[in-house]
Amino acid sequence: MHDPHSERMSSSETRAAGGLAMVFAFRMLGMFMVLPVLATYGMDLTGSTPALIGLAIGAYGLTQAVLQIPFGIVSDRIGRRPVIYVGLLIFAAGSVLAANADSIWGVIAGRVLQGAGAISAAVMALLSDLTREQHRTKAMAMIGMSIGLSFAVAMVVGPLLTRAFGLSGLFWATAAMALLGILIVAGIVPKDAGPLQHRESGVAAQALWPTLRHGDLLRLDFAILALHAVLMASFVALPLALVEQGGLVKEEHWWVYLTALLIGFFGMVPFIIYGEKKRQMKRVLLGAVTVLLLCELHFVFFGSSLRALVLGIVVFFTAFNLLEASLPSLVSKVAPAGGKGTAMGVYSTSQFLGAALGGILGGWLYQHVGLGGVFIGCAALCAIWLAIAVTMREPPYVTSLRLPLDAAALADVGLVQRLKATPGVADAVVVVDEAAIYIKVDTQQVDRTTLESLIVSAPAACRV
């Protein structure tokens, strides 16, 4: 048995985090690989119009948004693995449908079905079941990195695969990755004892209404919606701009995305470090949104050469990567104690809605107003986002902890008030059903060991 308080992840926790990160990566790879190629190769499909290409790009977001939270709730009832297996099979079926399609409507139907395999919440919940609370942030970070990496790989591999095997080959590869995900869950991810009920990993009905009324959480939900809407709409237009205005044949687009993603990844790191160390994440967020806005205007007014387009895409991805990495961290900082799982569920739903909205509006704008219209639409959305983000408060620099309570601590009516009076504790809530307390804490002011000693000693002191 491993020490429950060990500061190192056990081998089973490492396998769980690594295996589930791979499942996430393969699935997101399948979602993202079509982005750089659908606008160019998709025009060869029967019945294609720019508006329908946009719908095909964003269609998966519609079913993801609708089914994300329900799949998570079902996984609480029947177990995580059955939901994950069914979701991956649905995703594979959608990929096969799109691979066999010779019309744009067949690809749209395939993308809708892909999105119906909405397993994100179930995967995150399984990860929480299989990791101890003090290692959960590390495990979640591994999944976050796998999503970022899969996006980067997709931007490069998508064009190369499509160049070699066509669009149908791309979708067949996606189906294979979904089936590989099933094998990973069955063979690598350790078996769990069953769903654990804890509010940091899943949607809690009691926390839903407070989350939907929380001003700063709603600002962050709008932020991820706008970010993914801008991404999807831009990818209706950018591949076409590279061909029409940059003179770059579609088979060569991969090197543009590879350059942009490598520079963008390393370019964002100093800003993340500055924001966290100096506690200036709001300033970093506002700066990145402003850069996105300027990139879209750059594409409108200066994007008439390959050099200018590549420069704009590099800067765009630096700002995008920075926002994609920092927004989930801001949600976990801002969410009330015991509300992080619910806040992340609403946040993910907003992300997929943004993807759907961006693809659909991007295609419609391109069909009716042209490339410039898409970029101006994206710039307008960034301007609205900036106006909303300015009103956000600086987030509290706190970490979420979940500590188990024994019967004596549960009976201690003054526990929450005493903890809240401790310097560095921002919020605390006892959940009797789980025999646990959720605490939001500034780890620079108070550590976990001190909090545990306060919880253990307080009831004993009360009985003296």
What are the tens digits of pLDDT across the range 392-431?
A: 988 878 777 778 788 877 777 788 888 888 888 888 888 8
DSSP assignment of 142-210:
HHHHHHHHHHHHHHHHHHHHHHHHHHHHHHHHHHHHHHHHHHHHHHTSPP-SS----TTTS--HHHHHH
Where exactly are the structural domains of the chain? Answer: 12-189, 214-397, 399-463
Return d(Cα 95, Cα 107) in angstroms, integer.
Answer: 9
pLDDT recorded at residue 4: 52
pLDDT recorded at residue 5: 53
Share of the chain above pLDDT 70, in %: 92
pLDDT recorded at residue 365: 96
DSSP assignment of 264-322:
HHHHHHHHHHHHHHTT-HHHHHHHHHHHHHHHHHHHHHHTTSHHHHHHHHHHHHHHHHH
Q: State the pLDDT confidence band at 9, using cuts at 50, 70 and 90.
A: confident
Name the range with the highest mean pLDDT among 4-13, 127-136, 309-318. Answer: 309-318
- Compute the average pLDDT of residues 157-166: 92
**Which of 246-255, 326-335, 394-403 comes out lowest in average pLDDT?**
394-403
* Cβ atoms within 10 Å of 308's Cβ, excluding its own: 16
Residue the block writes with tokens 């299989």: 130
pLDDT recorded at residue 142: 79
- Compute the average pLDDT of residues 161-182: 94
**96, two tokens:** 């096969």
Return d(Cα 229, Cα 209) in angstroms, integer.
Answer: 25
* Cβ atoms within 10 Å of 70's Cβ, excluding its own: 12
Higher pLDDT, 336 or 37: 37
Closest C-alpha among 390, 392, 454 to residue 420: 454
Has residue 300 got a pLDDT over 70? yes
Return d(Cα 18, Cα 146) in angstroms, integer.
Answer: 9
pLDDT recorded at residue 201: 61
Has residue 463 got a pLDDT over 50? no
Return d(Cα 374, Cα 362) in angstroms, integer.
Answer: 6
Share of the chain above pLDDT 90, in %: 45
Residue the block writes with tokens 């002191």: 461
Has residue 96 got a pLDDT over 90? yes
Are 65 and 221 a contacting pair, CB within 8 Å? no
**Which of 135-144, 249-258, 339-348 comes out lowest in average pLDDT?**
135-144
pTM, 2 dp: 0.87
Are 459 and 408 a contacting pair, CB within 8 Å? yes
Task: Compute CA 173 distance to the chain's CA centroid, rounded to the nearest angstrom.
Answer: 22
Return d(Cα 387, Cα 397) in angstroms, integer.
Answer: 23
Are 442 and 395 a contacting pair, CB within 8 Å? no
Q: How high does pLDDT run on average in the chain? A: 86
**Which of 68-77, 283-292, 309-318 comes out lowest in average pLDDT?**
68-77
Residue range 342-371, pLDDT digits in tens: 888 888 899 999 999 999 999 999 999 999
What's 437's DSSP letter? E
pLDDT recorded at residue 276: 82
pLDDT recorded at residue 292: 97
* Candidate CATH numbers 1.10.1270.20, 3.30.70.20, 1.20.1730.10, 1.20.1250.20; the one for domain 12-189: 1.20.1250.20
Q: State the pLDDT confidence band at 195, using cuts at 50, 70 and 90.
A: low
Q: What amino acid occupies position 266?
A: F
Same fold, 214-397 and 399-463: no
- Classify 84 as helix, strand or coil: helix
- Classify 115 as helix, strand or coil: helix
Q: State the pLDDT confidence band at 462, using cuts at 50, 70 and 90.
A: very low
* Candidate CATH numbers 3.30.70.100, 3.40.50.620, 3.90.79.10, 1.20.1250.20; the one for domain 399-463: 3.30.70.100
Bridge partners, residue 404, by sequence: 436
Return d(Cα 197, Cα 346) in angstroms, integer.
Answer: 18
Has residue 152 got a pLDDT over 60? yes
**Which of 49-58, 242-251, 340-349 comes out lowest in average pLDDT?**
340-349
Fold of 214-397: Growth Hormone; Chain: A; (1.20.1250)
**308, two tokens:** 């200018």
pLDDT recorded at residue 398: 79
